[in-house]
Amino acid sequence: MNYKILTINFIIFFFPFSFIAGNLFTNLNIVILIISTLFLIFKDELKKIKLNIVDKIIILFFIYIFLVLALHYFNKSYQNYDDFFFILKKSLMYLRYLILYFLLRILILNNLIKYNWFFMSCGIAVLFTSLDILLQFFNGKDIFGIVPLSPRKLSGPFGSELIAGGFIQRFYLFIFFLSFFINLKSLNYKYFISIILISVFTFAIILSGNRMSFLMYFFSFFLILILNKKFKKYILIFLTAIIFIFVIMYNNNNFIKKNYDNFFNSIKTIIIYYYTKNERVDNTGFVGVPYTVEFDGFYKTWKENKIIGGGLRSYRINCPYCNAHPHNYYFEILTDLGLLGLAIILTILIVTLYKIKNLFHFIKKTTTIPFVILLFVELFPLKTSGSFFSTNNATYIFFLMAFIISFIEMMEKKADKSISIKK
């Protein structure tokens, strides 16, 4: 391996750790990867990429972001120039994800990515986070001396940000599939290691207090069954272990019990609230009903610009009494980019899923499965979420998309070649 490929993979190796370190380090990692790829690889070894249908739609999506901004500017929709420059700045900065997406695509198509390195880094990062949460639970503080803000939600290395469970859910699958890169004589030994790790992750994600992340973590195992049934026996063991661990912790820890009781009661209350169409107490939200401020704020804001939206990250401007985002990716896309923006995003997803369906035999390949499952879980419509356009979320989504679309392209070529040989 030459120093150029070594450098690129070393940078990618630190991607999951940059999520732990914070947005500054995530952005720094993106910039370093872009610069390194352009200067070390681009001139000498990278092939000219041929745009496929998904690439073109993604480019259209980014063009549309600036089109919305221009339309609002010329129609003088923004109340002042500060609002316009805020959205312009966010839109320009968002372009880095388009560059990241295509550079990753080129690296993958040229077989310059060391997947075992990346899988290993994800595994180390998730294991470190999980053990740090367990240390925080038993010791009262983690390895960095961070004391939890709440006994119901442990943050581990994330400090004041209560997102440790989401991090585990996003990256744990890579360590699960890492065993297939390791040359162990006994397959059962591989699964024994996996169940020990899954148990540690389950304890940690429950202690993190991130309820939706735990549900998505649980849900992802069912998706593994769908994509590769040869894991059926072992996945059922994992699911049984997860349920057992949850029941034990739920019945023996009042903080965990209260946290999940509140979660399920909140879901019930939200359903009842919208089903009965209760009137609000005031314009800042109905007292006692979580998330309805953001959800109702979404609807009120979206109605102002249903077709094209208010512009990237405009929710916080157009809905001043609400949070910075409506806690759902699709609601946020509707408010910021309207029905047309949502249509473009859904077209990307539908085309991708259609291609996956047509290449299902190839998608069952071990390397591909975690990327597909994690993207599906990340974009699952019936879950609360952070902002679609925030640093960590956008980086994660376009990172997964680059790998999946590249895998699909390589598999399509492989399928075409197989058909040609048969003829």
Task: Give whole-number Cα distances, 347 to 117, 288, 352, in Å.
Answer: 32, 37, 8
pLDDT confidence bin for 43, thresholds 50/70/90: low
Task: Give whole-number Cα distances, 62 to 94, 166, 242, 376, in Å.
Answer: 8, 27, 40, 21
Task: Give whole-number Cα distances, 134 to 130, 162, 195, 206, 217, in Å.
Answer: 6, 15, 17, 10, 18
Question: 230-241, pLDDT tens digit by residue?
Answer: 777 778 888 888
pLDDT at 82 over 70: yes
Average pLDDT over residues 274-279: 63
Rounded Cα gap, residues 37 and 30, in angstroms: 11
pLDDT of residue 79: 67
Amino acid at 417: K
The single residue listed with the structure tokens 């609807």 is: 299
Q: What's the whole-model pTM score?
A: 0.90
Average pLDDT over residues 191-197: 80
pLDDT at 185 over 60: no
- What are the boundaries of each domain within the chain? 1-46, 52-113+279-423, 123-253
**Which among 243, 15, 205 has a CA at the least distance from the CA of 107?**
15
pLDDT at 286 over 50: no
pLDDT of residue 60: 96
Rounded Cα gap, residues 169 and 201, in angstroms: 9
Rounded Cα gap, residues 280 and 273, in angstroms: 10
**What are the tokens at 42?**
């681009």
CA 22 to chain centre: 15
Cα Rg for the chain, rounded, in angstroms?
Answer: 22
pLDDT at 137 over 60: yes
